[in-house]
Structure 1
Amino acid sequence: MKAALNLASVLDRWSRTVGHAAAWLIVPLVFMIVFDVVTRKVDFIRLYFSQFSIDYGYSVSTILQDMQWHLHGVILLLTFGFGYLANAHVRVDVFREHIRPRKQAWMEFIGLLLLAIPFLLAVSWESWILVSISYEQGEGSESMTGIPWRYVIKGFMLIGCIVLALAIFATLFRLAAYLFGTREEHEEARDALEIFNYEHHKPE
C-alpha cells in the first residue's frame, strides 16, 4: 500500500499542476472578452476593425469570440482533475453527508470503480472518434473568418480525460490504503483525501 500511496502522490501532483497552469488561462480570457467588447461597442474602433476585415479577410471579432469559447473549454477540461481532488465540485447526495467517513470512503471507492472509470472510458472513446472525424474533415469554425483546425480544441477532451484519470486513480489508491492499509497508511491516506464531510466526522 505504501507504493500505491507514493504513486497516488505523483498522480495527484501531475493533475494539480495541469489544473493550476490551466487556471492562469482565465487572465488572457478576461482580456480577450474586454477587448472584444470594446472593438464592437466603441464606434471608431468598430469601424476600423470592420475595414480591417474587408481589407484582409479576417474578422477580429469572430476570431476573438471563437478563442473565448476555446479557452473556456480548455480551462474546464484541464481543471476537472484538480477540482475533483480538491472536492470543489457540488455533491448532492444528502445521505452521504450524514454517514461515517469509512462508509463515505466505501461509497467513493465503489462509485469510482463502477461509475467513474467506465464513464471516463466511454467519454475518451467518443472523444477520440470526434477528434478523428474533425481532423479527417478539416473541420473549422462555422464562420468563414473564424479559427480553423477545430480538431485541436476537440483534442483537449482527450487531454482532459487523461488529467481526470490521474485524479481518479490517485484517489482510488488512497482510498484503498485508507480502507485496507495499516494504521499508518490509513492515516496518511486520510490526511491526503479531501472527500470527507468533517462536519459529521467521528473518531474511528
Structure 2
Amino acid sequence: MLHVVDKFMKYVAYLTAVILALLVVLVVFDATSRYLFSHGSTALQELEWHFFDVVILLSIAFTLRYNAHVRVDIFYDRFSPKTQAFINIVSALFFVLPLSFLIIYIGIDFVEMSFVQHEASSDPGGLKYRWIVKALMPLGFIFLLLQALKELISDIKKWKSL
C-alpha cells in the first residue's frame, strides 16, 4: 500500500511540474502582450493565479514526501533517528492529520456552495466556474492526508526498529 501512495504522488508531482511550466509560459505571454502590445486580459491574469493555486496545493504532499517542508532543522538534525521518528509521529498525529481532516471537511462545503451559486469572477472578462479552483483545496489536503498516513506508518516502523 505504501508504494502505491508514493507512485500516485509521483504522478501528481509530474502533473504539477507541467502546470508550473505552463504557468511560466502564461506569465511570459501575458507580460509580453501587456507591455509590448498594450493588450491585457483579466482572464489570463486570473488563470495565472489558478495555475499558481494548482502548483501550491498539489505540491504540499510532495513536499512532505521528500521531507522538504518547513521545520526548525537546527534542532531536528541533531536528534537521533529514533527521536526524529518520534517527532514525525507526534507531528502527524497532532498537527498534519487533524488539520488535513478539518480542511477537507470545511473545503467540501466551500466548493459545494461555490458550485451551487455558479460563482464566477467579479471582474468583467474574468473566469467562470470558480468552484474548480476551489476544489483544489480539499483535493490537495486529501493528497496530504494520504501522504501523511504513509509517512506515519513508515515512521512508526522506523521508531519500533531503532
TM range (shorter): over 0.9
| Matched ranges for 1:107-122 at <5 A | 107-122=87-102
- TM-score (norm: length of structure 2): 0.92
| Matched ranges for 1:20-169 at <5 A | 20-42=14-36, 45-46=37-38, 49=39, 61-92=41-72, 94-169=74-149
Percent of pairs with identical residues: 29
Return the letter of the residue paired with 1:34.
V
CA distance in 2, matches of 1:105, 1:20: 28
Return the letter of the residue paired with 1:71.
F
**Count of matched residue positions in the alignment of Structure 1 and Structure 2:** 162
- TM-score (norm: length of structure 1): 0.74
> Residue 101 of structure 2 contacts residue 145 of structure 2 at CA under 8 Å; is this kept in 1?
no
CA distance in 2, matches of 1:61, 1:25: 20
Secondary structure, aligned partner of 2:77: helix
Return the letter of the residue paired with 1:74.
V
Return the letter of the residue paired with 2:46.
D
CA distance in 2, matches of 1:139, 1:21: 26
User: Would you say 1:18 and 2:12 are equivalent positions?
Assistant: yes
Q: Which structure 1 segments of 5+ residues have no match?
A: 1-6, 50-59, 181-185, 187-203
Return the letter of the residue paired with 2:15.
A
Return the letter of the residue paired with 1:33.
V
CA distance in 2, matches of 1:117, 1:143: 37
Deviations 1:160-196 (A, max 9, x none): 111111211110111121123xxxxx4xxxxxxxxxx
- Once the 2 structures are TM-superposed, how far is the Cα of residue 145 of structure 1 from its aligned partner? 0.8
> Residue 18 of structure 1 contacts residue 163 of structure 1 at CA under 8 Å; is this kept in 2?
no
> Residue 104 of structure 2 contacts residue 139 of structure 2 at CA under 8 Å; is this kept in 1?
no
Return the letter of the residue paired with 1:69.
W
Secondary structure, aligned partner of 1:141: coil
> Residue 19 of structure 1 contacts residue 81 of structure 1 at CA under 8 Å; is this kept in 2?
no
Aligned to 2:155: 175
- Once the 2 structures are TM-superposed, how far is the Cα of residue 105 of structure 1 from its aligned partner? 0.3
CA distance in 1, matches of 2:48, 2:128: 14
Return the letter of the residue paired with 2:10.
R
CA distance in 2, matches of 1:139, 1:123: 20
Q: Which structure 2 segments of 5+ residues have no match?
A: none
CA distance in 1, matches of 2:109, 2:14: 28
